[in-house]
Amino acid sequence: MSFLLAVALLLGSGLSLLSALRLRTGRWAVDLPLSWFAGTGGFAMGSFALRFLAGVRYTAATALAVLALPVTALALRALLRRGGPAPAASVPPPGGRWLPRPAWLFALLAAYVGATTAVVVLQGVNTPTQTDDGFRVRAFAPVLAFRDVFGPEAREVLTMAGPVPSYVPSLGWRLTGAVDHFHVNGAILVSLVAFLALAVALASSRGRPERGWAAAFAALSLPLFVYHCTTTYADATLALYLGAAFFFFLEFGLEGRGADAERALLLLLAAAMVKREGELVAGAVGLVLVLQVAWESRRSDRRLLARLGLLCLPYLLVVGARVASVGVEGAFPFLRMAVHKAAAAPPATVPGAGPGVSAAAALPPFLWAVFSSGSAGILYWVLPVAVALRLREIVGRRLAWALGAVAVLLLQAGVTSLWLFPEYTLNQGTVHRQLIPVSVLASVWLAALLAGEQGPPELAALPAAVGPAGRSKARRAG
Amino acid sequence: MHAEAPPHAWLAAGRRLLAAAAVAMLAFAAPPARAESPPLREVPVQALAGAAKSNVPLATSSLGLEVGVETASILLLALQGAEELEIEYQASGILLLTFLTVDASARSLPDHRGPPYRYVRVPPGRGRLDLDLLSTAHWSRTGIPYLLLEGSGRFIITRLRYRPSPSDRASLREALDRAVFFAPLPIGYTTVNILEPPYWSYAEGSFLYDRLGAAFLVLAGILALGYLLARRRSPPAPALALAALVVAAPADLLFLGKLARAAPLSVHLDPEARIRENYAYAPKLGALAALARATLRPDDRVAVEGHGPDWFAPEALCFNLAPRRCVTIRPGEREYVGLAGVDRLRPDEVDAIVSIDADRPLPDGFSRVAEVSDNAYIARRR
């Protein structure tokens, strides 16, 4: 029960946060799953910063206070506005269509999505934590957050896990005092359900339910991702937060609504708080998003760019809290590793492969991981073919920026797997898990390309402000 | 506004895809076919003892061949080339049976937890186990079945039948390919970085997704050519989407089936029951963890110990006992350390010990307060 209470509070806090930032879409089916990602991100950010920057103990009272922050902000804004002109009501965009076409085909996809989700939820909720990294880091970090006693080792664990996987599962424990380890599993499963619901609801609300169902199907066609939704590792969680952000990134590209770019950035900030790697991958996607906004507003209104900058500011609290917790070197371990690697003159020594093995030796196992291992299904066979055959459409429908984000992530994974840590590629180690977030984003992108073409008839009748021709006018529309 | 495909675009794409698929099918073989298998053969219970080697004393009685299990008991059955075992049994206690195949002439035994990791929990009482040996690690015609019983209890084989492998090479290859193709996903505590790669043909060493990828390339190529000849630039998105779907869907269903067969899908609302029942490959550990959670006080400072260098049981116990402070006993150390080095306790600070398959006797000053078996118990300082 404490888990359900925590979920309800996080959803409420998330909805308030979206309202305070005026980022609600006006459709409950979209806003509810969106509020899970926003609410958990906001709660984790607040709790982490309060503990390590302000030194405030993590208690039920402080947890509730953090959850209530967006509500307070919303109330304050309403108070300040009293007497002034009423804010414009959030009007849902027109063009919603909830039944995909052809129905028989998408009924099959929906059946697969439903069956797979059921198996994953049952397995996930049933399986106790069972792996070394789960015991020592991923599922242990929430316990440390709950205990709230931090020696250097505990701080290190919390930093490795990240604020979202540490604080979100511990909320129910903190409120009731009873620790149920399965809340860690539960938090991942709720994220999966929210991700799938967001995929379908968002695309449907924009008149293209085919794209939503195809995205859900494509993501659930990634075997290693599906499996990791049932473990207490954080790779699937990272992919889910990134994927949720990417839905809005794509929508911004397709329809040009500025609010979608803001929603995407908000969720990317939450993704950055999942694992140490979160900042790297979310940062890369966020950078491409900001570049797209900057490029498209180069001759017009730059207010969206400024709003994105403002949205990023609170993240400094997380960086500050992390530096306060583990010091500057501990706070940026990848930077330290990259510098160390670049400075190392002799070629890497790969355990089990003898000295002097170059990164080129890791290329065949990397390609095997991508194409043959089955970790990502047939995604990487389809992706290049689809890009090659639909190049004009990619540019025409403004999917190129989002594809750029996928490419940057793939490049990042390639550099890490071939240059920074070739040993974990040669032994088929972490390379597969590192590709999970890339694969989820790539599958969502592919679904948008291949299943998003059949637009609704209603779209043609929309005012120009909503279509690409009127994008600059529609930039501030919800 | 982007170009809209007319409502019949999917159907038109589907028709073209069907034609393309028919051509593509010619290039690829059908999935592994069912091979003719020889019938099961009976091994008389009296002959069982002679056909088995073990690390523990074996006893024969009117019931059958009896194996006592304290920690781990191994049974090597001299049934060279067996592809399937059907064991009728009578069991007591908490037992896990891991099965694989080993080369009869090998000097050392392989890592039984290496992929593919095949195990089955043995329900107490009378029952029957059907063990598919073809999908286990190291299966060969010259290999023999290796059964590892872990936990605590008694296992009596009351009837044993086995299926020898087909004598002709083609049938054997088909049987092996089929067994590996449809085998459940092997999940263990080392299933983290990669899943068991799906094979198209295990005997040939060819992978499923290489085949499917190639099939998609052929389909897409035929579609591209077809549309080019029809004076269109490239196949529309629905055609490509359907091609990807046609290729991906069977593999998705196969994966879902393999995952579902390996997953604990029963519903236990009580989290304690989930801990007790769902450490599928370590049932004694699950039972002990649940018992320790129920027995120990929230403020107890706990030390755990396992068998030799085993890290899994101590880590799993400490994790499941959190948020209690918990460390692993390292004899001779002045301070014991817990998960990730977070908890540290001196031996004299320990209130309770949780022990599973430990090689050492209980330290002085502690006495048992609860137990799952002789070697899986909870002790408290007197």
CATH number of the domain within which B94 lies: 2.60.120.260
- State the residue for tokens 């079945």: B145
Residue of B208, B252, B316 lying closest to A135 (CB–CB): B316
Whether B330 and B363 share a structural domain: yes
Question: What is the extent of the structural domain holding B249?
Answer: 9-31+199-261
Chosen domain end from B216, B240, B261: B261
- What tens digit of pLDDT does each residue of A222-275 get? 999 999 999 999 999 999 999 999 999 999 999 999 999 999 999 999 999 999
Whether B329 and B222 share a structural domain: no
- How far away is chain B from the Cα of A84, in angstroms, using its nearest Cα? 39
CB of A242 within 8 A of CB of A236? no
- How far away is chain A from the Cα of B189, in angstroms, using its nearest Cα? 5
Chosen domain end from B165, B185, B217: B165
Whether B68 and B157 share a structural domain: yes
Residues A389, B224: C-beta atoms closer than 8 Å: yes
Q: Is residue B191 part of a domain?
A: no
Q: Is residue B368 part of a domain?
A: yes
Whether B252 and B313 share a structural domain: no
CB of B35 within 8 A of CB of B174? yes
pLDDT at position B35: 57
Q: Is residue B17 part of a domain?
A: yes
Whether B104 and B133 share a structural domain: yes
Cα dihedral A367, A372, A378, A381, rounded to 10, equals 40
Chain A residue with minimum CA distance to B210: A372
CB-count exposure of residue A476 (10 Å: 0-12, 13-18, 19+)? middle
Q: Is residue B371 part of a domain?
A: yes
pLDDT at position A460: 35
Chain pair A-B, CB pairs under 8 angstroms: 231
Chosen domain end from B241, B261, B281: B261
Whether B128 and B238 share a structural domain: no
All residue ranges of chain A with pLDDT < 50 are 348, 351-352, 454-478
- How far away is chain B from the Cα of A161, in angstroms, using its nearest Cα? 12
Cα–Cα dist B314/B306, whole Å: 6
Whether B228 and B117 share a structural domain: no
CB-count exposure of residue A126 (10 Å: 0-12, 13-18, 19+)? buried
Residue of B7, B241, B342 lying closest to A153 (CB–CB): B342
Q: Is residue B105 part of a domain?
A: yes
Residues B212, A140: C-beta atoms closer than 8 Å: no
Residues A181, B320: C-beta atoms closer than 8 Å: yes
What are the tokens at A162? 């990240």
Residues of A in contact with B266 (CB under 8 A): 126
Whether B374 and B291 share a structural domain: yes
All residue ranges of chain B with pLDDT < 50 are 1-5, 26-27, 29
- Cα dist from A458 to A247, A250, A454, whole Å: 22, 20, 12
**Kindly report the CA angle at A464 between A459 and A465, in degrees rounded to 5?**
105
Test mutation, A176, A210, A250, A389, chain B, max B CBs within 10 A: A389
pLDDT at position B104: 79
Chain B residue with minimum CA distance to A450: B237
- Which residues lie across from B354 on neighbouring strands? B304, B378
Compute the half-sphere exposure of residue B116: CA atoms within 13 Å on the CB side of its CA. Answer: 26
Residue of A123, A133, A143 lying closest to B322 (CB–CB): A143
Whether B218 and B282 share a structural domain: no
Cα–Cα dist A357/A351, whole Å: 10
Residues B249, A223: C-beta atoms closer than 8 Å: no
CB of B323 within 8 A of CB of B349? no
Q: Is residue B376 part of a domain?
A: yes
**Kindly report the CA angle at A245 between A173 and A110, in degrees rounded to 5?**
85
Q: Is residue B64 part of a domain?
A: yes
- Predicted TM-score (pTM) of the model is 0.91
Residues B274, A182: C-beta atoms closer than 8 Å: yes
- How far away is chain B from the Cα of A447, in angstroms, using its nearest Cα? 8
Residue of B1, B193, B322 lying closest to A428 (CB–CB): B193
Chain A residue with minimum CA distance to B320: A181
Residues of A in contact with B234 (CB under 8 A): 389-390
CB-count exposure of residue B164 (10 Å: 0-12, 13-18, 19+)? middle
Give the total number of structural domains in chain B. 3
Residue of A123, A140, A382 lying closest to B244 (CB–CB): A382
What are the tokens at A92? 């849902």
Whether B256 and B282 share a structural domain: no
Whether B69 and B117 share a structural domain: yes
Residues B195, A157: C-beta atoms closer than 8 Å: no
Q: Which residues contact B64 (CB under 8 A, 6 or more apart)?
A: B45, B48, B89, B90, B156, B157, B158, B159
- Within B122-236, residue ranges assigned H as helices are 169-182, 208-229
Whether B311 and B358 share a structural domain: yes
Q: Which residues contact B338 (CB under 8 A, 6 or more apart)?
A: B318, B325, B326, B327, B328, B344, B345
Residues of B in contact with A119 (CB under 8 A): 256, 259-260, 263, 265
- How far away is chain A from the Cα of B190, in angstroms, using its nearest Cα? 7
Test mutation, B194, B202, B315, chain A, max A CBs within 10 A: B194
Residues A374, B209: C-beta atoms closer than 8 Å: yes
Q: Is residue B193 part of a domain?
A: no
pLDDT at position B21: 65
Tell me what ipTM this predicted complex has.
Answer: 0.90
Cα–Cα dist A199/B47, whole Å: 62
